[in-house]
């Protein structure tokens, strides 16, 4: 874990209200693993004491990227940062996804902004020689993550709730079509998506599933206990014990 001032390389609105920010931060980029996150100070001075947790979206040598939605004052401030600005980062934090050795076919489900850690996982898995199928879902076509930012070798399947792109429906509707092919399943999305996956456990055909939990965090270091959740193995801190958990554990 490092605290660093990272220099903004670019900060672009790639979907309505969604920004892709690239930063120069060799200290953090060199250690980051898919599924981990960083705590980002969104503001200057004593009036902004708390950081925001953001999943590490992509890594390219000494550079790393974050994908975020503007939802409040902090992320609005972050969206206004220009190239050359400095951002205070703390990371990488938490535990990342684990790919079991000897398995080859990885099925990724990304719902909405859940593409944030999924893209990093897909890139890393392909670099290591795994086959990746990515099920990408959004409410409508304008909210879909741009295809040209995704790894070219990832097999992409798109769903939208209103049918404006890809298959109409939810990505969880396609579980039975792809679970048989997969050795492992990885997911990131809203809680409702995880609940649906748990309810459709039979369609997962016994394949291990890892999910990324997103909750409010205070410190990101396991000190404040603000991100504690109940699991089948007792109380866990998302920042320290997660954010990656087995679906069966939650």
Q: What is the pLDDT of residues 90-117, one digit of tens each?
A: 999 999 999 988 889 999 999 999 999 9
Predicted pLDDT at 3: 81
Report whether 190 contacts 213 (CB < 8 A): no
* Mean predicted confidence (pLDDT) in 177-203: 93
* Cβ burial 157-169 (10 Å sphere, 16+ → b, else e): bbbbeeeebbbee
pLDDT tens readout for residues 14-53: 999 999 999 999 999 999 999 999 999 988 765 556 788 9
Per-residue confidence (pLDDT) for residue 165, from 0 to 100: 95
Q: What is the pLDDT of residue 1?
A: 67
SS3 content of the chain, % helix, strand, coil (to 5): 25, 40, 35
pLDDT of 48 reads 58
pLDDT at 125: 96
Structure tokens at 231: 């699991």
Contacts of 209 (CB under 8 A, 6+ apart): 184, 185, 186, 187, 197, 246, 247, 248
């Amino acid at each position: 874990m490092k605290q660093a001032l990272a220099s903004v390389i670019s900060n672009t609105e790639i979907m309505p209200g969604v920004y892709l920010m690239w930063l120069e931060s060799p200290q953090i980029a060199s250690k980051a693993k898919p599924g981990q996150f960083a705590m980002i100070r969104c503001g200057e001075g004593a009036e902004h004491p708390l950081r925001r947790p953001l999943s590490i979206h992509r890594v390219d040598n000494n550079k790393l990227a974050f994908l975020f939605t503007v939802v409040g004052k902090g992320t609005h401030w972050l969206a206004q940062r220009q190239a050359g600005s400095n951002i205070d980062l703390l990371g990488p934090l938490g535990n990342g996804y684990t790919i079991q050795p000897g398995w080859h076919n990885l099925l990724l489900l990304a719902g909405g902004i859940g593409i944030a850690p999924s893209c990093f996982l897909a890139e890393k898995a392909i670099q290591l020689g795994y086959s990746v199928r990515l099920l990408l879902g959004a409410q409508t076509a304008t909210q879909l993550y741009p295809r040209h930012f995704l790894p070219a070798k990832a097999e992409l399947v798109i769903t939208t709730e209103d049918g404006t792109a890809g298959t109409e429906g939810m990505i969880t509707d396609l579980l039975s079509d792809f679970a048989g092919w997969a050795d492992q399943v990885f997911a990131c999305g809203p809680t409702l998506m995880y609940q649906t996956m748990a309810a459709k456990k039979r369609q997962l055909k016994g394949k291990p599933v890892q999910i990324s939990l997103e909750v409010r965090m205070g410190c990101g270091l396991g000190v404040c206990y603000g991100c504690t959740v109940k699991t089948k193995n007792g109380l866990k801190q998302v920042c320290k014990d997660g954010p990656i958990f087995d679906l069966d554990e939650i």
